[in-house]
Amino acid sequence: MKGMVVKVGSVFFLLTSILFVPQGALAIEYEFAFGDVFVQKKSVDKVSFHGYVAFQYFDVQGQNRSFDQHIFEPFFGYQVNDKVFAKLIFELEHAPEKTDEGQYAELFVEQAEIDIMFSENTSVGFGAILVPFGLENYLHAPSDIRLITRPPIMKSGENGSPVLNNTWTDVGIQLTHTIPQLGILDLYVINGSAIQTKATRGRDTKGPNANDGKSFGAEMQITGLFPGLNFGASYVTGKYDTEDKLDSWRAGLHAMADFKPVRVLAEYLMGTDEGAGTGNADVDLAGYYLAASFTPTLPLIEDRLDINVRYSDWTADDKANIDFSEMAYGLRYRLYEKTWAKVEYQVNNEDGSSLEKDNNRFGLQLNVLF
């Protein structure tokens, strides 16, 4: 009861504070979104610098309540000439907390890429790429997502393993072709496989997930048929073991309809990892999430407040009956230009697992895009 009083009081304090922000302090929203830097192959500026930072608080049942300097992520881009664009994205997480590996904070390279524009509609990227699979991998920045957390079928959370662990960075070659009035086609070859953990995503070249055969993938996004509508499919396949005998694949469908004041985003994923289960059995995975957002057109809060809900349901191992579901509710409020405050409550369920957990979550976040 005491914990619930604290949560309700925190939400009341947050909403009271933001509603008294002077209206004149909110500047007109720029069109730039951080998700743009993951897909852009050319810049309008010679030198580009952007980024985001997020601070948050989480109260998880059965765990310590904790503040977290969750992430600081700067993006650097340089237009070398008319055809060549180079970019670098660092990811500094959980500073300066001590991690399980005994290190302080976590520093990753999310992208380090050379993009060459061979024509107006065709480009090739070389280096550490953000693997084009679905939409969530591109829209994971705190300034782009409207809840605090990401869909658990694509990001390990409090109640189970994901179907595909994003953010998915890997080293390889990516061809991007824009089909006029239709959409975008991506074809790629990468080092790693669809089996991912925090330790092996795109970085395991000699260990148990080193696949000498490489993985091949494709994504099609249909964006040109109707403004605000994006739907398509993704597929990736490749060996995941050092002997190149065991296959791993993922397939996905996605759809996003962004028609103000409503936005709906959905993805369905499925796949198989050969020999990765108990007794060398295959592991079959599948799941989906559906997220909806509503922006009320009311005085004082117009274009500033989002009401959000997300439902996720997935199977981490079909043969073992390891099933999970999650329901998340949240509010996002734009305090100032490029500055958002969020609140979220998440209900987690483990179905068919041997141990039921009390692990619902309550969170607050402040994030800034620059």
Q: What is this structure's pTM?
A: 0.85
Residues 10, 327, 320, 244, Cα dihedral to 10°: -90
pLDDT band with cut points at 50, 70 and 90 for residue 281: very high
Q: Say which residue, 2 or 156, is predicted with more confidence.
A: 156
CATH label of the domain that carries residue 159: 2.40.160.10
Task: Give the pLDDT of residue 31.
Answer: 58
For the residues of 285-343, what is the DSSP string, one character each? Answer: EEEEEEEEEE----TTTTTTEEEEEEEEEEEEETTTTEEEEEEEEEEEEEEETTEEEEE
State mean pLDDT over 321-350. Answer: 93
Task: Give the pLDDT of residue 27.
Answer: 36
Task: Give the pLDDT of residue 30.
Answer: 42
Task: Give the pLDDT of residue 36.
Answer: 80
Tokens 């002997």 label which residue? 243
Query: Cα angle at 314 between 313 and 320, to 5 degrees?
Result: 135
Count of C-beta atoms within a 10 Å radius of residue 48: 16
State mean pLDDT over 160-164. Answer: 84
| pLDDT (tens digit per residue) in 219-275 | 999 999 999 999 999 999 998 887 888 999 999 999 999 998 999 999 999 999 999
Domain extent for 88: 2-369
pLDDT band with cut points at 50, 70 and 90 for residue 29: very low
Q: How far apart are the first and last CA of the chain?
A: 39
Instruction: Find out whether 71 and 90 touch, Cβ atoms under 8 Å.
Output: no
Check pLDDT > 70 for residue 87.
Answer: yes
Instruction: Find out whether 272 and 285 touch, Cβ atoms under 8 Å.
Output: yes
Share of the chain above pLDDT 70, in %: 82
Domain count, the chain: 1
Average pLDDT, the chain: 85
Give CA–CA dist 78/71, Å, rounded: 23
| Half-sphere exposure in the Cβ direction for 244 (13 Å, CA) | 8
